[in-house]
Amino acid sequence: MQMNTPVGPNALDTVKDGWVGKPLDRVDGRLKVTGGATYSYEVLQAPNTAYGYVVQASIGKGRILSLNTRAAERAPGVLYVLTHLNAPPQGEGNHHEAHPVLTGPQVAYFGQPIAFVVAETFEQARAAAYLVEVSYDRQPGNFVLADNLNRARRPQSTGAPADSAVGDFDSAFAAAPVKLDVEYSTPQQAHAMMEPHASLAVWDGENLTLHTANQMLSQGRLAVARTLRIPVKNVRLVSPYIGGGFGAKLWVNADAILAAIAARQLHRPVKTALTRQQVFHVTTHRSDTVQRIRLGTDREGHILAIGHDSYSGNLPSEQSYEAAAMQTRTLYAGPNRLTRHRLAALDIPIASSMRAPGEAVGLLALECAMDELAEKLELDPIELRVRNEPDEDPERHVPYSSRHLVACLREGATRFGWASRHPRHGQVRDGRWLVGMGVAAATRGNPLQPSQATVRLGPDGIATVRMAMTDIGTGTYTILTQIAADMLGLPPDRIRIEIGDTAFPEAAGSGGSFGAASSGSALFDACNRLRGKLAAAAGVDARAARFADGRLQAGGQSRALTDLVGAGGLEADGEIRPGDTEHTFSQQSYGAHFAEVGVDADTGEVRLRRMLGVFAAGRVLNAKTARSQAIGGMVFGIGAALEEGLVLDRRSGAFVNHDLAEYLVPVHADVPAIEAFFLPELDDAANPLKSKGIGELGICGAGAALANAIYNACGARIRDYPITLDKLLPVLPTQS
């Protein structure tokens, strides 16, 4: 089916006391806690599996002058050393389309793979990798975004345009009675997921099976085929369980291609895993940004002009940029608008999507700027946002499919006790702690991607669902189980979900908060078609049929589904495709974040005391996993505000803190009790499930709420994230 018009009442709306929405425990939970969920590196193959280890460049830019592998090749257990001198020709493209490796002597960034040592054991491969001798011609590189803003260009756009303009921003801003013009910056960030990238490549003649940690298998299959220059039909990607991704595994990475090339050369399986330190340079990261926010209002706080300029960086060969100004196009009203993105060519590892690309860092700037504007106006920050609530998308001039941002703000204010917040900073103390509250709006786009699914009901009463969808820890297995259970009237233990394999129907994969809606809608369509076949077998109208307790009830009869499927079972295919509704409606999820922090009056230490998120994201498919996703995003926001950031060596373009000892993320001691609450909502223009994406919504605006709370506590406004002691102490007001 195609989403051309809003959907009316459907089977999920009429199910009484159904499984969708309930806090069903993860159906894969037992497998995960007992070790039965097999990740890519844990896949067992024949005893002749070989192991590979990546050798990385130790310069930031230049050219390999000599590469001596003789000592490595003579080392114990070594089978093969792959370099640009013996690597096969490969297909080209940006990192979305292909991932060629070892294609020549040029070094584009620090940590770039320059050799791949394969041995009988991982330990032998690693030991031999240190025997590879390399000499370089070092060249000066452009590593720092802030030093290259004047060289930034407008990037090519594959979706929404990089720039937008409505009205006359310059004139309106110049004439506005109240103006704010501020600059914020955010650092480069690493995904730091639990499972490092790993792959096992197995060839059977001309056919490749690649067990690899990849979030979007159908897309990855195309990239592997293009890179290796083989037919797509000869490639199979398998990834039933993924230990987190946050965007780092959206695309095929060097581990997969290197393993595949080596396995083909050696005629035996090759397995490789990147070390934690290698992940930081060999795979992708989030770009840093420099953002300028300009807001002009009348004296009552109505926005007259809103401008957002964002700079980010990437390799010269890439067009991917951090779309930090996108949410500014739709979040608040205002007749005169200007957003612009610029991309600087930098000689650092590839920058790409990381959880909530665009909004995660864009709202760190915009929502703090709104707080600054509220203070200028002597207006409550929530009231400022309410006064600028649009009645339609202010740039596209189409209605919102659903929008309950104000309701989230109001509900959150009541639950959090916002009325007790002191409007002036530095007025509330708890012993040595200065205490403050902050608020920020949350928004995230709600895309729908093409997906397909097959569902088969066997004579044993088991329904088997198949699609090339993935589960990166978000609960895909569970919500698909709930959808199928309600649509077919079966208990969850009669549903079997088989995903993570390109041998199954193509699916969107996990990313961009589109996974649940896209895969779930394809399954909804498949189940709807299967319901039609079952009704036809019973000789009744499918529209009048009710499916419950493993039976079909209609027209005064009740038939067991197992009696209707016959000895061979019944099968149906389904699909979802985006359609006109993505153009005729503006579709986003919304929320509001509230934070209370304490700032030590003497040392500047910041401690989060409590946090609340209130969200409106369409039909909630599983109350437990939805809450988990929202809270996880909020923890991400804590890290972005207070701790997280890659430290760049300006001389070499290397990330200095390339491990989990020094790349700081929140730990249990940093995170108090966090609450997440969902408002009831159905969005009939989004998809047949009437749901919206949740996976990234929790991070959007969360860090800004903390930053605003810090200002309310002590009066220190830090515009360079993360807000660390070295930045806070010099501007910490003297306390009486």
Among all residues, which ones are annotated catalytic?
A: 696
DSSP letter at 19?
S
Report the number of secondary-structure helices (H) and strands (E) in the chain. 18, 28
Q: Are strands 336-345 and 546-548 parallel, antiparallel or unpaired?
A: unpaired
The three-point CA angle 82-88-94 to 5° equals 100
Residue at 237: amino acid letter: L
* Strand order, beta sheet including 270-273: 78-83, 113-119, 50-56, 270-273, 198-204, 207-212, 235-238
C-alpha–C-alpha distance, residues 498 and 514, integer Å: 19
Closest to 61 measured CA to CA, from 156, 173, 136? 136
CA distances to 237, 266, 516, 520, 687 from 524, rounded to whole Å, are 25, 44, 11, 6, 10
C-alpha–C-alpha distance, residues 647 and 661, integer Å: 13
CA distances to 79, 265, 414, 640 from 88, rounded to whole Å, are 17, 10, 63, 41
Match 């090519």 to its residue by tokens: 156
- The strand pairing partners of 675, in sequence order, are 612
Give the DSSP letter string of 316-381. Answer: TT------TTGGGGTSS--SEEEEEEEEEE-SSSPB---SSTTHHHHHHHHHHHHHHHHHHHT--H
Question: Which spans in 378-457 are helix H?
Answer: 381-387, 405-416
The first and second tokens of residue 126, run together, are: 């690693």
The three-point CA angle 320-323-328 to 5° equals 165
Q: Is 457 helix (H, G, I), strand (E, B) or coil?
A: strand
Closest to 616 measured CA to CA, from 415, 446, 435, 420? 446
SS (HEC) of 33-76 = HHCCCCCHHHCCCCCCCEEEEEEECCCCCEEEEEEECHHHHHCC
C-alpha–C-alpha distance, residues 198 and 299, integer Å: 57
